[in-house]
Amino acid sequence: MLRLLNRIQNYLLGISLQRKLIILFLPLAIIPLSILGTFSYYKSSQVVQQQVCQTILESLSQVNYSLNYFVKDIEQLTMYIYSNRDIQKVLSKDGQRTLAEKHEDEQQINDILDTFLGFKSWNIAIYLLGANGDRYFTDNLLPSKYDDYNEDWGLFRKMRLAGGNVVWDTHYSMKKTEDFGIVLSSGRLLKQIETSQPLGYMVVDIMENALADKYNKARLQPGGQMLLLDRNGYVISSSPFKHIVGTKLDEPYLENVLEGNKGFFELASKGSPPAMVIYDTSEITGFKLVSVVPVAVLTKESSSIRSLTYFIVILFGVISCCAAYVLSVTITNPLRKLKSLMFQVETGNMDVAFPSKHKDEFGQLGLSFNKMLQRINQLIDEVYKKQLMVQEAEIKAIQAQFNPHFLYNALDSINWMARIHKMNDISQTAISLGELLRFSIRKGQPFIQVKEDMQQIRNYLVIQKMRYGDRLEMEMQIDKKIEKLFTLKLLIQPLVENAITHGLEMKPGKGHLSIRGTLEGENVRFEVSDDGAGMSQETVERILDGNFESEHAHNTGIGLDNLRRRLELYFHEHFRFDIVSQTGQGTKVTIEIPVMRTAGEDRHV
């Protein structure tokens, strides 16, 4: 007992607070419900069995009325099909007509049958068996017994003898374990209206569940059985046991049911609990609807006590649920709110706060949560600012690497011009160099207009043109739409420098350099291409991966790598940097950045 109490205590301590409150209220509902159930059991045994059986009998009469209506519908349906002129016309045709005409007739008949079946939800199958060999049906398959039928057997014999009137036939089976789908059939002999010449047969097969749906409305009692019998005592349909469908009922009460018209009586047999047999006979078909209900079930079908029991159960259940819900919500709502806020914080939403309205334990817990969240936001802000400072310093360091590198090349160009041209063009070169130097050391935003950046590229190309002379052909095409947009400072210059120094300079003879700028949707695209020495695919992949290291001491190889790093720092994943190159044929570098209409659209972290 002590162990059991410890287990119960551990279980109660481990469940949620709301469940604890609900479990507390359960005894308040269970105890009165148990007392009321016991009282209801003894009270229900006094209910008059006669009244219950009478109620069931009235229900059976209603079901029989529904079955009669169903039978009339089937008979009316067969009459409609019998008198249909189109069906008469098709069945009168020669059986040896062309396949195309037969196919057309089949579609016509199928449309007619679908129209007839469309009026109501019937679980039936219609078969038209023409004397000319035509076969039309609504089911998926045509049974062999209908394809090659014998006019002297079963339903066909009845139809032939009826001379065009409707007949009914029950499907019998010697296999008691067989669950029949088709249990009842109706049919007519089809004759030509004008000449009374036989045209064939019409058969309507009725499925067992189509009949079961009718008598299921009779409120089958738990443990009871519902049977639909023909005039001879064969089972047409049964619920819930289907294995006796198609066989003759083998029960001691069958003789009494066949002799009577309607009523009920008690059946007491050795080895079986007593039961009530209630039956009713259809005036049209002669079918008998039988309900077998154990007496123990009927005695439980009380009236006033059952209603009183249900009322008290519902009343106590509602009161208990409402009380448990109100109390659990009042106590656990602050905890649920705090849990929801913590979940939002876990997903990254730090802009939340617990609305603390009271000074109880929940209010104090909420204040502590708010203070903790404020401290976390403060620490995150400090880390964010430090990260910004580190990245800004790294960007400035990267930019600083360009200036000495470019200055060296520019001065080298002046040196070559002085040697080759006897100082004739030094003035023009110095002017371009001065513009470039002033541009490179100018402080301010890291973004400038595309038009200004392209002007510096032109200054740079003037210097390189002086150096290489006719060996260098240059082409620059910049879309007017992007000239007023902004780009990253010194974005294109490393590409141009790399194309000349590592591509065209190593090429024998004349080289061509192309610079293009276009607007592609919400992106600005720059393309720098040359027909110089080119690179291997391995070198291109190393540059794109950031693993490139120059093999020459005088070449640091920082141009493209620094450019890639600057793009990552300022634009993160919102940029494109592609290199297409082939050894001996040239290189094409493509850069795409987001459209920036003002210098204030700072994209970096």
In which residue are the tokens 């000449």 written?
A: 195
Q: What is the pLDDT of residue 410?
A: 62
pLDDT, average across residues 398-418: 58
Highest mean pLDDT among 180-194, 361-375, 467-481: 467-481
Q: How far apart are CA 205 and CA 208, in angstroms?
A: 10
Mean pLDDT of the chain: 78
* Structure confidence by residue, pLDDT tens digits, 493-503: 889 988 888 88
What are the φ and ψ backbone dihedral angles of 271, each rounded to 5 degrees? 85, -5
Better pLDDT: 446 or 26: 446
* Structure confidence by residue, pLDDT tens digits, 270-319: 777 888 888 888 887 788 888 888 877 776 655 566 667 767 777 877 77
Q: How far apart are CA 600 and CA 594, in angstroms?
A: 13
Say if residue 434's pLDDT is above 70.
Answer: no
* Structure confidence by residue, pLDDT tens digits, 318-349: 777 777 777 767 777 777 777 778 888 888 78
pLDDT, average across residues 259-279: 83
Contact (CB, 8 A) for 226 and 239 = yes
Tell me how far apart the terminal alpha carbons of the chain are, to the nearest angstrom.
66
Say if residue 507's pLDDT is above 60.
Answer: yes
**AA identity, residue 159:** M
* Structure confidence by residue, pLDDT tens digits, 60-100: 888 888 888 888 888 888 888 888 888 888 888 888 888 88
pLDDT, average across residues 569-589: 89
Q: What is the pLDDT of residue 523?
A: 93
Cis peptide before 252 (omega within 30 of 0): no
Q: What is the pLDDT of residue 347?
A: 81
pLDDT, average across residues 386-401: 59
In which residue are the tokens 């469908």 written?
A: 245
Q: How confident is the model at residue 556 (pLDDT cuts 50, 70, 90)?
A: very low
Q: How confident is the model at residue 605 (pLDDT cuts 50, 70, 90)?
A: very low
- Residue 86 sits at the vertex; the CA angle it makes with 81 and 91, to the nearest 5 degrees, is 80
Q: What is the pLDDT of residue 235?
A: 85
pLDDT, average across residues 99-122: 83
Q: What is the pLDDT of residue 95?
A: 83
Which residues lie closer than 8 Å to 3 by C-beta, 6 or more apart?
A: none
Q: What is the pLDDT of residue 553?
A: 41
